[in-house]
């Protein structure tokens, strides 16, 4: 983790993770090796992870005293005692059961934010934090422009809740984000150069 972990430590503390490893069905379908290097208090956002990999990942995350956030499946999140991430689309499976159960169990709810629609949804569902993206150009969305640090900060401020930066984040550019950011989330940023 090294430099990315150091960059996350300079950010404003909050009750959730300041460093989030994001899996990706194509680019990082098996995040277990990187998850085994997460610092305590970090988290893995598991998106599209195969069931056999997910069970092992949950064990690694527990052993590292880190968090697990499941992308888009509230029932699976409840089964694993994990948080839930709402992607920037409608139709999250098992959302209502998760929303009913999460308060008493202290389960984290995060939401993707790419603009006003995502902000409104995060507020309406009382998300604990938002992942605002893309900050910088990213391989996940080839050719798409990043928000840049200033536009990211303007959108993140309007969220009214902790904002985690996602999109093209790495050791070389993480320091360009404001210190009040709640955290850093990345896929490639965790990989050795």
Q: What is the pLDDT of residues 112-163, one digit of tens each?
A: 999 999 999 999 999 999 999 999 998 877 777 899 999 999 999 999 999 9
Q: Does 68 have pLDDT greater than 50?
A: yes
Here the contacts of 34-39 (C-beta below 8 Å, separation 24 or greater) are: 34/190, 34/191, 35/60, 35/61, 35/64, 35/66, 36/60, 36/64, 37/1, 37/190, 38/1, 38/64, 38/66, 39/1, 39/5, 39/64, 39/66
Q: Is 36 left (phi over 0), alpha (psi -120 to 50) or beta?
A: alpha
Note whether 40 and 67 are within 8 A (CB). Answer: no
Which tokens in the block code for residue 9?
A: 């430590």
Q: What is the pLDDT of residues 8-63, one digit of tens each?
A: 999 999 999 999 999 999 989 999 999 999 999 999 999 999 999 999 999 999 99
Q: Where are the domains of the chain?
A: 2-188
> How would you classify the pairing of strands 183-186 and 163-166?
parallel
Cα(158)–Cα(100) distance, integer angstroms: 26
Q: Does 90 have pLDDT greater than 80?
A: no
Cα(82)–Cα(106) distance, integer angstroms: 10
DSSP H or E segment with residue 79: helix 74-80
- What's residue 145's pLDDT? 87
Cβ-based neighbours of 137, under 8 Å, separated by 6 or more: 144, 145, 146, 167, 168
The class of domain 2-188 in CATH terms is: alpha beta
| This prediction's pTM | 0.94
Quick one: how far is CA 167 from the chain centroid?
10
Determine the 3-state secondary structure of 73 from DSSP.
Answer: strand
To the nearest whole percent, how much of the chain has pLDDT over 90? 82
Q: What is the pLDDT of residues 148-159, one digit of tens each?
A: 999 999 999 999
- What's residue 193's pLDDT? 47
Cα(153)–Cα(57) distance, integer angstroms: 32
């Amino acid at each position: 983790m090294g430099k990315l972990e150091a960059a996350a430590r300079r950010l404003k503390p909050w009750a959730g993770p300041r460093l989030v490893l994001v899996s990706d069905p194509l680019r990082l379908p098996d995040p277990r090796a990187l998850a085994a290097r997460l610092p305590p208090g970090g988290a893995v956002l598991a998106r599209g992870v195969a069931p056999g990999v997910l069970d092992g990942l949950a064990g690694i995350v527990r052993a590292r005293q880190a968090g697990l956030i499941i992308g888009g499946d509230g029932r699976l999140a409840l089964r694993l005692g994990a948080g839930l991430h709402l992607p920037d689309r409608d139709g999250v499976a098992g959302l209502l059961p998760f929303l009913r159960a999460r308060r008493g169990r202290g389960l984290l709810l995060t939401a993707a934010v790419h603009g006003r629609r995502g902000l409104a949804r995060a507020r309406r569902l009382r998300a604990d934090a938002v992942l605002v993206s893309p900050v910088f150009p990213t391989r996940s969305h080839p050719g798409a422009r990043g928000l840049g640090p200033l536009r990211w900060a303007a959108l993140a401020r309007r969220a009214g809740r902790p904002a985690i930066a996602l999109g093209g984040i790495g050791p070389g550019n993480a320091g360009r984000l404001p210190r009040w950011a709640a955290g850093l989330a990345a896929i490639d940023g965790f990989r050795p150069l």
